[in-house]
Homo-oligomer: A and B are copies of this chain.
Amino acid sequence: MGNMASEHLSKAFDKELEKLKQHIYRMGGAAEAQFEAAIHCVGKRDSDRAPEVIVGDRQIDDFEATINAEAVRVLALRQPMANDLREVLAALKIASDLERIGDYAANIAKRSMALAQVPAVEPVRAVPRMGKLARGIIKDVLDAYIDQDVERALDAWRRDEELDDLYTALFRETLTYMMEDPRTITPCTHLLFIAKNIERIGDHATNIAETVHFQITGLAVGDDRPKGDTTSYEVVKPADKT
Contacts and interface: CB of A to CB of B under 8 A. Distances in A.
B192 A189 contact: yes
Interface stretch (A138-146, A155-163, A232-240): A232-240
Nearest to A84: B76
A193 B2 CA distance: 54
A72 interface: yes
A123 to B, nearest CB: 13
Contacts of A81: 76
Interface string A87-112: 00100100010000000000100110
A113 B110 CA distance: 31
B185 A185 contact: yes
Q: How many copies does the complex hold?
A: 2
A233 B116 CA distance: 10
A233 B85 contact: no
Interface residues on A, range: 35 or more
Nearest to A200: B200
Interface stretch (A6-14, A29-37, A127-135, A176-184): A176-184
A232 B113 CA distance: 9
Contact of A75 (B2, B85, B185, B234): B85
A185 B190 contact: no
15 contacts: A72-B89, A75-B75, A79-B79, A107-B232, A111-B232, A114-B234, A118-B235, A175-B189, A178-B185, A179-B183, A182-B238, A183-B238, A189-B192, A190-B232, A193-B232
